[in-house]
Structure 1
Amino acid sequence: MMLPSPEDLAICSLGECRFPSPLQLGAASGEYHGDFMSDAAKVRFHVELENLDTRPDDLFFERAGPRERLFFDPATVRAAIVTCGGLCPGINNVIRSVFLTLKYNYGVPEVYGIRYGYRGLNPAHGDGFIPMTHELVENIHLHGGTFLGSSRGPQPVEVMLDTLTARRIDMLFCVGGDGTQRGADALSQAARARGLPMAVVGIPKTIDNDIPYVFRSFGYGTAVEKAREVIAGAHAEAKGAPNGIVIVKLMGRNAGFIAAGATTASQEVNFAFIPELPFDLDPPNGFLAHLEKRVRDRGHAVVVVAEGAGQHLFGNLPVERDASGNIKHHDIGVYLRDRVIAYFRDRQIEANVKYIDPSYLIRSVPANCDDAQLSDRFARYAVHAAMAGKTDLLIGYWHGLFVHVPMRLVTSHKKQLSPKSSLWLSVLAATGQPALMVNPPTSDAGPA
């Protein structure tokens, strides 16, 4: 990851904030129960220094929060919410909190939900707008999924913008991952090119936890909790048969946060594999030799693998992409299962191998308490930003504080799990697996 410049962290504004906020907050500390947030409030990009003489103190995120002066007159605002990409615990919580904040805190008269992601902004797919009411959203946070529906893939930016303009939408809240935020960035730039005062604000949604500048995205904690429950069952299955081996495949296309989080939460996993680290299968130092030793010593094993791990093992097989342009990974879980079965069979070692893929189960459940709280806060900070006329930004979560992150910075790369991080070191400590299961490189050169 390249270090951003101060200009990279600058937030776009639609213009002068001329309207007083209706929120009952104070302008000075202690005046009321809470205070407005000044644009001068910043959060350091760097919070750790290896050398105290180093002073990288010129990089700051703008801190999120309610502003005392607003760009939009709340009484005339029309707002819309769209949810895109895969499901994630907490989406309905976000929708509900965005609506409640707009309606009851700011007094916004019209809020719309957009059906089935960005395709709901393309008239070719029909009218995707739903007028939102309190009765409509009252209990949606108790359910998984998104009551608005979702879809993958882009739609023509100018067509979407024409639809929003025809509906006189002033602000659009885009709930989704990196593909969604690329679309939000394109919409925001197109609106500015037309001179339209439209605020486009992103809310980060991914159970993979791979959005940069978001320490923890909503839904991740629930996914880890549900994955831990699956691993508990896998452990019981493994111990319930002679030389029982259970392989659990978890979500994690490009980042291994769910696999690592569930492993450390469970403490019953013996091997964990993530996209960030390569591994070999064959002896002497490949996974299969270590698995054999584990089974001989302890009589069972539990293996967790992220969906994006081990893709190098498939060689030059053709690669496909989904509607959002993401690589559709080959099924590493089934591949590992078949290789394990073949390895133990060839060595005439009894092995009872089972395979579990709970991917869609853990992403479609309601949010747990922590994620419900996190969803609510992301939503409310997004509304505060939009009302103040801030646009082309995502609500980030940086070292325990909510910040405004320029969309172009969010979409520049994906966050990944560092093999040097405390989380991965905890995985190695919990599993006892080798730090690397890679064989020495072989040389094709003959004797000198």
Structure 2
Amino acid sequence: MSEFRIASLGQPQYKSPLKLSTVKGDNIFDFIYDSDRLVFDLSIDQYHHCLKTGKEPSCLEKAGPRQNIFFDSKHTTAAIVTCGGLCPGINNVIRGVVMGLHYFYGVKKILGVPYGYEGLNPDKGHGFVELTPDKVKDIHQFGGTFLGSSRGGQDVSVMVDTLEANQIDMLFAIGGDGTLKGVDAIGEEIQKRNAKISVVGIPKTIDNDIDLIDESFGFETAFDVASPILRDAHNEATGAFNGVSIVKLMGRDSGFIAASAALAMPVVNFVLVPEMDFDLEGEKGFLKALEQRLKQKRHAVIVVAEGAGQHLFQKKSGVKDASGNVKHQDIGIFLKERIAEHFKDASITIKYIDPSYIIRSAPANSSDSVYCSRLAYHAVHGAMAGKTRFVSSKVNNKFVYVPIAEVTKKRKKIDMEGEFWFSVLQSTGQPFSWR
């Protein structure tokens, strides 16, 4: 289907330096062809629909090395930029891209763009950092970003001017929704100029809210790091009569971290996420449920995503950050104050914990490290083949290329009628709603 068609800079004209196979059964990995495509919707309903209508199902292009590549490796310059908030695994991706370009394809000139898209604006004076295997060989052991980051866009024309002035052939942008929209705009401007520069997105968002893809890197580490924090919060809650621990986790528009952390450490009694509406007051409200919990067990652990409960604030926040995201009001502090007020005549101890910046700056765990390397390698293969304006990602547990425009149409959210959220409810014992 056309909606998943990957744009190309032109006909690949160079033979790949990778010594791979075109023969099945010889125990050597085979080159991937553009005709190797994977069905997007695997449901039986979609299967019967295609049989009935005779329409071809929507398919995604399989990621991997191509036999013919677009760029001459010896004369190729690549650049890497990291944007937005910190997230576990950024350095792993940087390292993977550098190692892949250098050792797989022999690309010797790789530039790091400091401090996000600011680094592509000469007026900011950041310059470039030359990246070599020796420079990046150990950065995967640390959290944060080796290149630095920033929020907010720069003038697209200026950024493309910078790419052209420095004869950069491909730009790898590591970031979330705003970063991906930004690099797609760069790709659009490049296309208008008929320039031959590939732009590639590697989806990074700790909230796991990139649409269509299975998972964004760093997300698994996030709830992995959060799990022992929830364990300790439980210890705090049980250490006092009517002890209540409130843990606020990241999740501006989607509550995947809060929900997954609660499943991973099943000592949580209440999970509040942005996808749900709930009342505080009333017989069916959250505070009444908390009352009942304390009567029964004399302690409670509450996990709340940062974007949850914004409907409870009388004055809506109209302030936006540099990335254009609405700055949410602090639901964690709000809950702490409302719970304290509600139980003011009772003996209650409240502990409030916000580990957000500790979690997002942690190094990637083993699982995320594997994922980051594989995303990076597939991004390199796609760029070298001359593909552009795509993300390297995993869909239906297969590595594929997806057009950036498709994954940025909307944010991925928890399906409140889905099995995942039902699992959270089964783990916590909380009702389907507090309305």
Q: Does residue 405 of the first structure (1) align with residue 402 of the second (2)? A: yes
The answer to whether the Cα contact below 8 Å between 1:294 and 1:301 also exists between their aligned partners in 2 is yes
TM-score, structure 1 as length reference: 0.95
Which residue of 372, 391, 394 maps to 2:391? Answer: 394
Higher mean displacement: 49-58 or 112-121: 49-58
Q: Deviations over 1:236-269 (max 9, x none)?
A: 0000001000000000000010011001001100
- Shift of the alpha carbon at 1:232? 0.4
Q: Deviations over 1:151-184 (max 9, x none)?
A: 0000000000001111000000000000000110
Which residue of 377, 380, 384 maps to 1:383? Answer: 380
List runs of 5+ in structure 2 lacking aligned partners. none
Distance 1:43 1:22 in 2: 26
The answer to whether the Cα contact below 8 Å between 2:278 and 2:433 also exists between their aligned partners in 1 is yes
Distance 1:31 1:114 in 2: 41
- Shift of the alpha carbon at 1:420? 1.6
Q: Which residue does the alignment assign to 2:290?
A: 291
The answer to whether the Cα contact below 8 Å between 2:317 and 2:327 also exists between their aligned partners in 1 is no
Q: Deviations over 1:103-160 (max 9, x none)?
A: 0110002001110000000011014311111221011000000010000000000000
Q: Does residue 17 of the first structure (1) align with residue 6 of the second (2)? A: no
Which amino acid letter does the alignment assign opposite residue 219 of structure 1? G
Q: Which residue does the alignment assign to 1:110?
A: 109
Aligned runs of 1:362-381 on 2, under 5 Å?
362-381=359-378
Which amino acid letter does the alignment assign opposite residue 136 of structure 2? V
Higher mean displacement: 332-341 or 123-132: 123-132
The answer to whether the Cα contact below 8 Å between 1:116 and 1:128 also exists between their aligned partners in 2 is no
The answer to whether the Cα contact below 8 Å between 1:202 and 1:394 also exists between their aligned partners in 2 is yes
Which residue of 25, 32, 37 maps to 1:42? Answer: 37
Aligned runs of 1:154-233 on 2, under 5 Å?
154-233=153-232
Q: Does residue 421 of the first structure (1) align with residue 405 of the second (2)? A: no
Distance 2:174 2:273 in 1: 26
Distance 1:59 1:51 in 2: 10
Paired residues in the alignment total: 431
Q: Which residue does the alignment assign to 1:337?
A: 336
Distance 1:270 1:57 in 2: 46
- Shift of the alpha carbon at 1:316? 3.1
Distance 2:398 2:158 in 1: 36
- Shift of the alpha carbon at 1:7? 1.7
Distance 1:33 1:233 in 2: 49
- Shift of the alpha carbon at 1:54? 2.6
- Give the 3 Å change call, closer, same or farther, for CA 193–51 of structure 1 in structure 2: closer
Q: Which residue does the alignment assign to 1:7?
A: 2
- Give the 3 Å change call, closer, same or farther, for CA 52–409 of structure 1 in structure 2: closer
Which amino acid letter does the alignment assign opposite residue 73 of structure 1? D
TM-score, structure 2 as length reference: 0.97
Aligned runs of 1:95-174 on 2, under 5 Å?
95-174=94-173
Q: Does residue 239 of the first structure (1) align with residue 234 of the second (2)? A: no
Distance 1:122 1:51 in 2: 47
Which amino acid letter does the alignment assign opposite residue 205 of structure 2? T
Distance 1:282 1:296 in 2: 18
Which amino acid letter does the alignment assign opposite residue 361 of structure 1? I
Which amino acid letter does the alignment assign opposite residue 97 of structure 2? V
- Shift of the alpha carbon at 1:50? 4.0
Q: Deviations over 1:200-228 (max 9, x none)?
A: 00000011000012211111111001111
Q: Which residue does the alignment assign to 1:443?
A: none
Distance 1:33 1:83 in 2: 34
- Shift of the alpha carbon at 1:302? 0.1
Distance 1:353 1:280 in 2: 20
Which amino acid letter does the alignment assign opposite residue 106 of structure 1? Y
Q: RMSD in angstroms over aligned alpha carbons?
A: 1.1
